Structure 1
Amino acid sequence: MASMTRRFSQLDVFTATPLRGNPLAVVHDAEGLSDAEMQAFAKWTNLSETTFLLPPTDARADYRVRIFTPDGEFQFAGHPTLGSCHAWLAAGGQPRDAQQIVQQCGIGLVPVRRDGTRLAFAAPPLRREPVDDILLAQVVDALGLPPGDLLSACWLDNGNRWIGLRVANASRLRALKPDHSRLKPLAKVGVVAEQDAEGAAGTQFELRGFAAPIGVAEDPVTGSLNASVAQWLIGEGLAPPQYVAAQGTVMGRAGRVHVHRDPVSGTIWIGGDVTPCISGTLSL
Structure 2
Amino acid sequence: MPSVSFTIADVFSTTLYKGNPLAIVDAREETLTDTQLKLITRQFNLSETTFFFPPTSPKADFKLRSFLPDGKEVIGAGHNILGVWWHLAQANLLPLPVPQAADENFVFHQELGGQVMPVRVTRHTSAISFSVSIRQSTPHAHATHPDPTGLALSLGLRPEDIGFEGLPPQVMSTSTTRHLLVPLSSVAALNQVTVAGREALLAQLRRADNAAYGLYLFTPEAGDGDGEGTTNTRAFQARFFSPGMSGEDPATGSAAGPLAAYLYRHRALKVDGRGAGKIIVRQGLRVGRECVIEVELGVGKNEDGEEVVEVDLVGGGVQVAEGRIAVPDVSTQF
Q: TM-score range by the shorter chain?
A: 0.7 to 0.9
Instruction: Give % identity.
Output: 25
Q: TM-score, normalised by structure 1?
A: 0.87
Q: Counterpart of 1:179?
A: 196
The separation in 1 between residues aligned to 2:88 and 2:16, in whole angstroms, is: 19
Determine whether 1:272 maps to 2:315: yes
- Written as runs of structure 1 = structure 2, the 5 A alignment for 1:92-107 is 92-94=92-94, 99-106=106-113
The separation in 1 between residues aligned to 2:116 and 2:96, in whole angstroms, is: 14
Q: TM-score, normalised by structure 2?
A: 0.75
1:138 shift after superposition? 5.7
1:174 shift after superposition? 1.7
Q: Which amino acid aligns with 2:43?
A: W
Q: Which amino acid aligns with 1:49?
A: E
2:157 to 136, 145, 166: 145
The count of aligned residue pairs is 277
1:215 to 221, 245, 259: 245
Residues 158 and 242 (structure 1 numbering): CA distance in 2 closer, same or farther, change over 3 Å?
Answer: closer
Q: Counterpart of 2:21?
A: 23
The separation in 2 between residues aligned to 1:27 and 1:122, in whole angstroms, is: 22
The separation in 1 between residues aligned to 2:297 and 2:145, in whole angstroms, is: 30
- Written as runs of structure 1 = structure 2, the 5 A alignment for 1:1-284 is 3-29=1-27, 31-71=30-70, 72-94=72-94, 99-106=106-113, 108-115=115-122, 116=124, 117-131=130-144, 133=146, 139-151=151-163, 152-159=168-175, 160-181=177-198, 182-184=200-202, 186=205, 187-196=213-222, 204-212=235-243, 214-240=244-270, 241-262=277-298, 267-284=310-327
The separation in 1 between residues aligned to 2:3 and 2:256, in whole angstroms, is: 35
8 Å CA contact retained: 1:39, 1:68 = yes
Q: Secondary structure at the match of 1:86?
A: helix
> Alpha carbon RMSD of aligned pairs, Å?
2.6
8 Å CA contact retained: 1:15, 1:274 = yes
Q: Which amino acid aligns with 1:93?
A: L
Post-superposition Cα deviations, 1:242-284, rounded to whole Å, max 9, x if no partner, equal 2321101111111111222347786432111211111222221
1:173 shift after superposition? 0.6
The separation in 2 between residues aligned to 1:205 and 1:62, in whole angstroms, is: 34
8 Å CA contact retained: 2:63, 2:110 = yes
Q: Which runs of 5+ in 1 are unaligned?
A: none
The separation in 1 between residues aligned to 2:149 and 2:134, in whole angstroms, is: 33
The separation in 1 between residues aligned to 2:88 and 2:219, in whole angstroms, is: 34
8 Å CA contact retained: 1:54, 1:63 = yes
